[in-house]
Copies of this chain bind each other. A is one copy, B any other.
Amino acid sequence: MKIALAQINPLIGDFEGNLHQMLRAAEQARSDGADIIIYPELTTCGYPPRDFLDFDDFIRLAETTIEQLAQAAYGIAMVVGSPSRNPRIEGKDLFNSAYFLADGQVQHVQHKALLPTYDVFDEYRYFEPASEFNVVTYKGLRFALTICEDIWNVGNENPLYTTCPLDEMRAQHPDVIINISASPFNYAHSHGRIHVAKANVQRYGIPMFYVNQVGAQTELIFDGGSLVISPDGQVYDELPYFQQCVRTYELSKVMSGRGSSEQPKHKYHLIHDALLLGLRDYFSKLGLRRAIVGLSGGIDSAVTAVLAVRALGPENVLALLMPSPFSSQHSVDDARQLAENLGISYKIIPISNVYDACLELLTPHFKGRPFDITEENLQARIRAIVLMAFSNKFGYILLNTSNKSEAAVGYGTLYGDMCGGLSVLGDVYKTEVYELAKYINKDGEVIPHNTIVKPPSAELRPNQKDSDSLPPYEVLDQILYQYIDRSQSPKDILDMGFNPSLVRRVLRMVNINEFKRHQAPPILRISGKAFGVGRRMPIVGKYLG
């Protein structure tokens, strides 16, 4: 018995393209002699389809895709995820299902029971949980089909669900666990995934074939890293991260548990590669090619530009340097040096004349009030106007360069530097941006040394430094990490020994700036808790406000 894992990259709603990808993978597996090929969760329609699931036509297209796939299931069986309809009038109208296809037919359908509804997940919004559990027998072996979260109630100190699908199937004596997943990346997630897979194998004493989707879907990055676990609980193989892969295994060899190949898990290596995939798929899946980025000479725009160049190619990235009256010469020099290091086109477009024209228009109405955040924001917004004009005229997509620390405390101009089609670093804290820059420079200077060592500044008034308005990033990021990533309460954070008034100030800044983040671009998610779809806060509220 040979089993193939197909770690593929579907596009949401592209039924034809996804079918084509699956058929191509099946060809490869067939030529490797595979008896069964396993695709990820909801591969017919791509994951997460979100509210497209509300459209009857969307479900019909998924059903048609299953029929077409079944027609190709001769000589090889297929396990594939797709939505299916709930025949009962009570409950949600759909299931999230694993189909077992063989000999041109649907042989078995197992629905998902554990429906993740937290963080970025909304599955109970659409799906009814499974209430029946049955193994499927093929070529004399009994396979327990599970879908992503179905195995995550095991090996877990705070199980989220009151049922456990594999417990329900245990009496049917399965020989092999199959898990089809769409499990999004975060830089710490692969450890957890391996831990949970091993815990299941150890609990049930049978091997597991786990296949994960790869590819980015707007803000979510799926890393692949599909797994084969031998019955002794050891990793037999871990597929590559961030790339498509079809690989076939001889079950008898997996049973004997002699292989062991795991991927490296260095944090900044993972984040770097994840962001490249996130960028690349955003552009390629939307049929886009070219990006524009405003270079300030600072670290955030520098790292964003490097990632864009590595994802899209230097010929597809344009940089604008837009000095204002408050920009220092080193900023322009550093930005120019970066552009030259990267081999990308750049233009220097000073914004002083437009800034002056705006002041001339506005000053009579400002009644002698002093220079303040208004004039600072004005500069950032004029730069956005220039960038968006290039975007509109030539079809460049503006990349947002805000980092997670800024997004958290609202240190950014709405409709100014917060603009962009995609936020590349919005889930990377400032201190992590520095680490990422060092990682980028590990084989030689790409980002100018001065960009990395100079004190961060928005340069929107004379001699401005971030540290004028914000605590040092080393402290700020620790508080933010506890509050945002770990959902720690104010009291818990205070108990860690941080300065009480600083904690209150930081938490207040986070909460009162919810209105800004509401209008931010989608953020490529690389942590366990990113701003965006995975963190849902009221704008109007008083708690910690």
Contact = CB atoms under 8 A, between A and B. Distances in A.
Contacts of A540: 11-12, 216-218, 281-282, 285-286
A266 interface: no
A160 B91 contact: yes
Interface in A518-532: 518-522
Given A162-B90, A373-B392, A415-B419, A12 B282 contact: no
A386 interface: yes
Contacts of A93: 158
A88 B537 CA distance: 26
Nearest to A54: B487
A385 B389 contact: no
Interface string A471-508: 00000000000000001111110000000000000000
Interface in A399-454: 414-415, 419, 421
A23 interface: no
A59 B76 CA distance: 53
Given A12-B541, A51-B535, A90-B162, A392 B415 contact: no
B353 A361 contact: yes
Contacts of A60: 489
Nearest to A283: B540
Given A357-B353, A385-B358, A415-B388, A50 B519 contact: no
Given A218-B538, A361-B353, A373-B392, A52 B12 contact: no
A61 B544 CA distance: 12
A14 B541 CA distance: 7
Contact of A374 (B118, B374, B389): B389
A535 B51 CA distance: 7
Contacts of A385: 358, 378, 381-382, 385, 415
A369 interface: yes
A362 B389 contact: yes
Contacts of A489: 55-58, 60
A512 B377 CA distance: 30
A382 B382 CA distance: 8
A55 B487 contact: yes
A539 interface: yes
B377 A388 contact: yes
A468 interface: no
A347 interface: yes
Counting chain B CB atoms within 10 Å of each CB, the highest count among A49, A61, A393, A419 belongs to A393
Contacts of A117: 117, 122, 124-125
A138 interface: no
Interface in A137-180: 153, 158-162
A304 B543 CA distance: 30
A500 to B, nearest CB: 14
A350 to B, nearest CB: 8
A235 interface: no
A341 to B, nearest CB: 23
Contact of A538 (B48, B354, B545): B48
Contacts of A351: 361
A346 to B, nearest CB: 12
A49 B58 CA distance: 32
A191 interface: no
A386 B357 contact: no
Contacts of A52: 537-538, 541, 543
A46 interface: yes
Contacts of A153: 90
A152 B117 CA distance: 21
A538 B392 contact: no
Nearest to A118: B125
A519 B426 CA distance: 15
B542 A12 contact: yes
20 contacts: A45-B543, A49-B538, A50-B536, A51-B536, A51-B537, A52-B543, A61-B543, A91-B159, A91-B161, A93-B158, A124-B124, A217-B541, A353-B360, A353-B361, A354-B354, A354-B361, A374-B389, A374-B393, A381-B385, A382-B385
> 9 closest pairs, A vs B, by CB?
A13-B543, A57-B489, A12-B541, A357-B357, A14-B542, A374-B392, A124-B124, A374-B393, A13-B541
Given A50-B538, A55-B488, A117-B124, 19 more contacts: A13-B541, A14-B541, A17-B542, A46-B541, A50-B536, A52-B537, A52-B543, A57-B491, A57-B492, A61-B543, A91-B160, A118-B125, A122-B122, A216-B540, A358-B385, A373-B392, A381-B385, A388-B415, A533-B536
